[in-house]
């Protein structure tokens, strides 16, 4: 029998859960445990996954000769575009306020944890852990884990060759192992989501406001992603990369479609490399360096998405985010996107980092799970497109003559 793709299984799970929760609300405790277990499993994997993914990404970037300048440019590009995406998300979620209509009316929302509001300077100082092993055991110390992983990755590349190779291999293998476990957890998503959604529907008045709010929330994410895809990145291509954006879209048609349909930057990577080298004319030196690293750490779409979700959920709770909290949100969305694995639904794992940072209960994420797949497709396309823009912009700054560069196009 042909296997049904995971996203169809999830969709079927969601539909069944809606029917189940609506008609048998009293029976939901019997299925709710599946959702609880699923959420626990996601939380279980986040620390080792993010830790190993970052180390393996950074050591990959640092290996090879003369990558210093290229590495610096690549990081600068990745950080700036992700930050621009996040700021777009922040602006839109404040403007559209998708959660406002539902404020306080969502029956199944877990209670807000009674955390003292974190001050911005405390959060920044606590990024440097007093005791790293202690941070590993605390969910709210994820930023310290990320910080320590980045340091570890950077300094592994400075070790003696034999030591460097040993540790690089070790962390790569460890990362592969964590990925296998993550993919296993994600395969269980149809059951987990079934449990979560059934409980949510049972406790929830399915009201017009709910649909309105979810619709507005989707609109916010889609508008932000499209703005980034169609305005921010082309402007960077035009002004910094000296590339014709239209020619670049055309050249990147295959990776865009593949990313959209698979919702996985990793699965798209071979096609991305092929298109960037063959259709855009980037050298293997630049593409072989920027693209694999980009697939792992450069996720503009994911960063924007995670910020909007956190903003949306905060609005559902009527929780006004002050300036300090918004800043924390921006910083954590950036770091969480860097640590997100390049597979479908991976945002779900790292979302717990942002929720914990601003004191929102992670379980509230169940609400947005229902409409996650289409948004995952679009954010993955954005992630991949930004990687390709990075590759051509950096190649052009290195003086490479590209097939999509404005100069070459006007000449021909």
Q: Which residues pair with 405 in a beta bridge?
A: 243
Least separation in angstroms between residue 29's CB and ligand ASP is 30
Nearer to ligand ASP, 199 or 341 (CB): 341
Least separation in angstroms between residue 340's CB and ligand ASP is 5
C-beta of residue 135 within 8 angstroms of C-beta of residue 148 = yes
Orientation of helix 68-96 relative to helix 300-316, angle to 10°: 30
Least separation in angstroms between residue 219's CB and ligand ASP is 18
- What is the C-alpha separation between 144 and 135, in angstroms, rounded? 7
Nearer to ligand ASP, 108 or 264 (CB): 264
Least separation in angstroms between residue 372's CB and ligand ASP is 8
For residue 319, count other CB atoms closer than 10 A to its CB: 18
- What is the C-alpha separation between 290 and 74, in angstroms, rounded? 7
**CB proximity list for 268: less than 8 A, separation 6 or greater:** 255, 258, 259, 262, 295, 380, 384
- Which tokens go with 5? 């793709």
- For residue 54, which of 341, 322, 400 has the smallest C-alpha distance? 341
Least separation in angstroms between residue 226's CB and ligand ASP is 16
C-beta of residue 98 within 8 angstroms of C-beta of residue 213 = yes
Nearer to ligand ASP, 102 or 378 (CB): 378
Nearer to ligand ASP, 109 or 297 (CB): 297
Nearer to ligand ASP, 213 or 340 (CB): 340
Longest Cα–Cα distance of the chain, Å, equals 71
The angle subtended at Cα 84 by Cα 78 and Cα 87, nearest 5°, is 135
Nearer to ligand ASP, 363 or 376 (CB): 376
- Which tokens go with 362? 């992670």
For the purposes of burial, counting CB atoms within 10 Å of the CB of 288, is it exposed (0-12), middle (13-18) or buried (19 or more)? middle
Query: Applying CB under 6 A, which residues contact ligand ASP?
Result: 263-265, 299, 302, 340, 342-347, 376, 379-380, 383
Least separation in angstroms between residue 155's CB and ligand ASP is 28
Least separation in angstroms between residue 313's CB and ligand ASP is 17
Nearer to ligand ASP, 61 or 342 (CB): 342
């Amino acid at each position: 029998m042909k296997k049904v793709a995971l996203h169809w299984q999830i969709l079927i799970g969601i539909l069944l859960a809606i029917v189940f929760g609506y008609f048998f609300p009293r029976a939901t405790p019997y299925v709710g445990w599946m959702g609880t277990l699923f959420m626990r499993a996601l939380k279980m994997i986040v620390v080792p996954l993010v830790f190993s993914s970052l180390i393996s990404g950074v050591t990959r970037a640092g290996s090879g000769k003369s990558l210093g300048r290229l590495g610096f440019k690549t990081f600068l590009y990745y950080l700036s575009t992700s930050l621009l995406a996040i700021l777009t998300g922040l602006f839109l979620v404040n403007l559209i306020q998708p959660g406002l209509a539902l404020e306080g009316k969502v029956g199944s929302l877990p209670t807000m944890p009674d955390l003292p509001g974190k001050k911005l300077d405390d959060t920044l100082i606590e990024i440097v852990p007093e005791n790293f092993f202690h941070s590993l055991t605390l969910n709210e110390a994820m930023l310290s884990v990320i910080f320590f992983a980045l340091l570890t990755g950077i300094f592994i590349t400075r070790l003696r060759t034999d030591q460097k190779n040993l540790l690089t291999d070790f962390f790569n293998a460890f990362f592969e192992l964590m990925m296998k476990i993550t993919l296993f957890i994600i395969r269980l998503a149809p059951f987990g989501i079934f449990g979560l959604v059934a409980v949510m529907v049972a406790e929830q008045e399915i009201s017009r406001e709910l649909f309105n709010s979810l619709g507005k929330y989707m609109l916010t994410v889609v508008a932000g992603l499209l703005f980034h895809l169609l305005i921010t990145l082309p402007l960077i291509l035009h002004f910094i990369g000296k590339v014709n954006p239209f020619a670049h879209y055309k050249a990147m048609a295959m990776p865009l479609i593949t990313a959209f349909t698979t919702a996985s930057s990793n699965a798209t990577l071979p096609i991305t490399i092929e298109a960037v080298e063959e259709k855009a004319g980037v050298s293997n030196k630049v593409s072989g360096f920027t693209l694999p690293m980009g697939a792992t750490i450069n996720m503009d779409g994911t960063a924007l998405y995670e910020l909007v979700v956190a903003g949306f959920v905060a609005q559902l709770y009527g929780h006004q985010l002050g300036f300090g909290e918004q800043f924390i949100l921006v910083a954590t969305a950036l770091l969480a996107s860097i640590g997100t694995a390049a597979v479908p639904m991976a945002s779900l794992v790292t979302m717990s980092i942002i929720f914990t940072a601003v004191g929102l209960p992670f379980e509230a994420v169940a609400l947005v799970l229902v409409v996650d797949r289409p948004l995952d497709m679009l954010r993955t396309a954005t992630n991949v497109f930004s990687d390709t823009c990075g590759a051509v912009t950096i190649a052009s700054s290195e003086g490479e003559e590209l097939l999509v560069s404005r100069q070459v196009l006007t000449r021909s």
